[in-house]
Amino acid sequence: MRYYIVAETEWSQHLNRFLSEYELYAPVKNTETESYDYEQITAETIDSIYYNGNTPTTPLKTFYLPIKENVVNIKENQPRIVIGVPNCDLAALNILDNIYLDDDYIDPCYKQNRDNTVIFGKDCYTYKKSCHCTSYSLKPYPQENCDVSMSITDGMIYLCPMSDKGESLLKKHKITDNKSVDTIPETIISKRQDVVNNLQNQNKNLPDEKNTRISIEKSSEELWDKYSDKCVSCGACSFICPTCHCFLLIDKEHFEKVRSVDVCQYPGFARVAAGEDPLHYLNKRFKYRYLCKYCYKPDMFKALACTGCGRCIDACIGKIDKNELILESFK
């Protein structure tokens, strides 16, 4: 692999050039809440980009699957660059791309959004209590599904093209004319390994994907009753999840159709003709979400539908800790 080196002091000049052709999105830190999320960047706000965080509040999927979207009148959007995407969101594309880019049923809206976006994946040098990507064989740094990987150390940015789209962008803006190396420095490798080790230690009791599936499939109804008792069916866990993708199509006048996010925790999610609803009861809907993540999706798409980002734990109004449930089911 080839890594192109850009000094942090010069990076803003490249970003300014990107702005002439692309909408630019990157994490910005909220100093009051100590959280960070994607914001559209302008020439005046380039210096506010926060590179050292872990998981932005908003998942990457919202750039491809907006909360509401007209799927009949598809408008061509300006190309955009999204900087600072963690590997937990990149791994989620293994599910989303399988669903929306299936050769027999390509979704034109998703495809256009996907094609129009250049992704800069980034290393996570920090992590939250809820982070657990390593439990599911993922790493806290880019492995696949991004166009350029981005690592920072000692005032230098190491950019590695990971797709033709990424290579083309770096060439067009002459970043490939910079000094380059075949391997990233030992300081980056060491930082990455430190985070891996810390995450593995933090989640040492959490089972891997195989044992999580086994424990969920055999868990008692009492367990689901216990944890679903705190659920208020708000849907925050699904809205914030990087792999959840369910939607409704709402008919409008003049044969318009609007795709709107739907959530399996909502009452009526599974209701069909004559009012039949296999997920009428909250404990059934609650259990279904876990079965979908750890059983149904892996069977259908050969990919786990949980990437260990921890957002569902952070966002839950009822303070339900998914990992606590899994640990209890594993006993």
Collapsing DSSP to helix, strand or coil, 27 comes out as: strand
Q: Kindly tell me if the per-residue pLDDT of 331 is higher than 80.
A: no
Q: What is the per-residue pLDDT for 252?
A: 87
What are the domain boundaries of the chain? Answer: 3-202, 209-330
**pTM (whole model) above 0.85:** yes
How far is the CA of 227 from the CAs of 135, 299, 323, 324, in angstroms? 22, 25, 12, 10
* pLDDT tier at 33, thresholds 50, 70, 90: confident
Per residue in 185-223, pLDDT (tens digit) is 999 999 999 999 999 999 999 999 999 999 999 999 999
Share of the chain above pLDDT 70, in %: 100
How far apart CA 102 and CA 109 sit, in angstroms, is: 13
pLDDT-derived band at 277 (thresholds 50, 70, 90) equals very high
The pLDDT assigned to 102 comes to 93
* Segments of the chain assigned E as strands: 3-7, 23-30, 35-41, 68-70, 80-85, 117-122, 148-153, 156-161, 180-181, 247-252, 256-261
Distance CA 222, CA 42 (A): 52
Q: How confident is the model at residue 52 (pLDDT cuts 50, 70, 90)?
A: confident
**What letters, b where the CB count within 10 A reaches 16 and e where it falls short, cover 75-84?**
eeeeebbbbb
Q: How many helices (H) and strands (E) does the chain have?
A: 12, 11
pLDDT tops 90 at residue 169: yes
pLDDT, the chain, mean: 94
Q: How confident is the model over 101-142, as pLDDT tens digits?
A: 998 999 999 999 999 999 999 999 999 999 999 999 999 999
